[in-house]
Amino acid sequence: MLEIRGVNRSFSGRRVLHDVSFEVETGKLTGFVGANGAGKTTTMRIILGVLAADSGEVYFNGKQLDDSVRHRTGYMPEERGLYPKMRVAEQLSYLAQLHGLTPERARSNAQALIERLGLDDKADKTIESLSLGNQQRAQIAASLVHDPEILVLDEPFSGLDPIAVENVQGVLKSRAAEGIPVLFSSHQLDIVERLCDNLVVIADGRIRAAGSREALRSEFGSSNWELISDLDPARVKSNPGLEIVSAEGRSLVFKANAEMAQEVLKQATALGAVDRFTPVEPTLAEIFREVIE
């Protein structure tokens, strides 16, 4: 398990991280979401030791994450970059060796990832000659090539075509299933929603929410209900504490607690047929909006 404990950081007097603490469970995909400038990249850089924290610590399996463990982390920085004039296979193998792998293992890992990410015919091409999408795949390969025991990926899906997104999701899931903690940030909330087991929400350098997707849903998701019936929206409105989200023909979406919702249902059945009555799962976007408000 990766633990971030009480991390603070300022840049030229401006505090960008306030007592940031959260956990990234082993074997789970944890999504790290927040607006631009919320502190995601700074937090990730501190986890990787690329940047020093003013105070606070990062622990991996109960031990402080220092230089002796750091080369076992896999990192994909927000701003992409590999050596433009190095060939893909050569570059991956170099990075793997730099992380401490033997040359043989480095080469075989590089080859396996090249195949897995569909770069087979690009192995001997220089990075600068690849399309942006393929450069991105190579970048993901670079963060995985040394069998990392921790994965930290800053916006791994930005700039990927839909096929590559699928591809990378598969790779990340299988790495997590192998039992390593995976933390990734993304502003594509639909992907995070689909992929993540756990979520960490950061705003203005403070952790606003952290936990499993379900827990966050029940904690923060406003309870919306969808009702298709003959009930007149104007009449429903008169219920205290109820808020109408949308009304269109016979379909009505309203916000209310469970008790009130049952009350509305009763009123509807009294009037005639109810074609649908269901709680509406809040989307991550909605949770996110509510959390940071």
Partner 1 sequence: MSSNRMPVAGSRIALVAMREIRMKLRSKAFLISTAILMLSVLASIVAAGIFGSNQSKTEVAATGSAVQVAEAYENLLVTVSDSAEAAIQLVEEGRVEAALVPTATPGLGFKVVAKDSAPETLLAQLGVFPELQVLHPQKINPLLAYFAAIAFGLVFFISAMTFGTTIAQSVVEEKQTRIVEILISAIPVRTLLTGKVIGNSILAFAQIAAIAALASIGLAATGQLSLLGQFGPSIAWFVVFFAFGFVMLAAMYAATASLVSRQEDVGSATSPVMILVMLPYILVISFNSNPLVLGIMSYIPFSAPVGMPMRIFLGQAQWWEPVLSLLILLATTAVVILVGARIYSNALLRTGSRMKLSEALAG
**Is residue 113 near partner 1 by the rule CB under 8 A?**
no
Q: Write out the binding residues for partner 1, residues 189-228 only, by CB under 8 A.
A: none
Crossing angle (nearest 10°) for helices 103-116 and 88-98: 130
Among 29, 101, 182, 236, binds partner 1 (CB under 8 A): 101
- For residues 113 and 121, the answer to whether their CB atoms sit within 8 Å is no
Give the C-alpha separation, 176 to 193, whole Å. 16
- The conformation of residue 146, written as its DSSP 8-state character, comes to T
Q: How many residues bind to partner 1 according to rule CB under 8 A?
A: 35
Shortest spacing between CB 147 and partner 1, in angstroms: 6
Write the binding mask 65 to 94 for partner 1: x where contact by CB under 8 A, - elsewhere.
--xx-xxxx-x-x-xxxxxxxx-------x
Q: Nearest 5 degrees, angle CA 25-CA 151-CA 158?
A: 115
Residues between 31 and 60 that touch partner 1 (CB under 8 A): 45, 48-51
Q: Site residues for partner 1, window 138-177 (CB under 8 A)?
A: 142-143, 146-147, 149
Q: How far apart are CA 144 and CA 10, in angstroms?
A: 30
Integer angstrom CA distances of residue 237 from 242, 256, 263: 7, 11, 12
Contact residues for partner 1, defined by CB under 8 A: 45, 48-51, 67-68, 70-73, 75, 77, 79-86, 94-95, 97-102, 105, 142-143, 146-147, 149
